[in-house]
Amino acid sequence: DTAVSQTPKYLVTQMGNDKSIKCEQNLGHDTMYWYKQDSKKFLKIMFSYNNKELIINETVPNRFSPKSPDKAHLNLHINSLELGDSAVYFCASSPSDWGPQETQYFGPGTRLLVL
């Protein structure tokens, strides 16, 4: 059973296009996250949602819009893609948002390449 799944696994697209990445977790967790990992492997949080409510919104361009239809899903929509958006995007989940000691469970990642 896949705990945190993401689709698609790979995404190759042209500059200026709009694309979405989907994430689902079957762990019953309340909190979900989006991370961006750049070409140097540096990993940074973008957003977090707790029970469909936005909790953390880092300094991310407005072109990135997360959406959580229910607490098991957190999708990421990106408008007007730019070359610099090329990265690996990871979804993660944790039991709640107030547990600094909690483990986060990561999906396999979506490798986005903008041409």
Per-residue tokens: 44: 């940074």
Per-residue tokens: 65: 């819009």
Judged by CB under 8 A, the stretch of 11-19, 21-29, 44-52, 74-82 that binds another protein is 44-52
CA distance 99 to 89: 23
CA distance 30 to 39: 30
25, 50, 75, 93: which one binds another protein (CB under 8 A): 50
CA distance 11 to 61: 20
* CB nearer another protein, residue 15 or residue 39: 39
Per-residue tokens: 105: 């469970």
- Please report how close the Cβ of residue 77 comes to another protein at its closest, in angstroms: 21
Task: Work out whether 100 is an interface residue with another protein (CB under 8 A).
Answer: yes
Task: Work out whether 27 is an interface residue with another protein (CB under 8 A).
Answer: no
Task: Work out whether 63 is an interface residue with another protein (CB under 8 A).
Answer: no
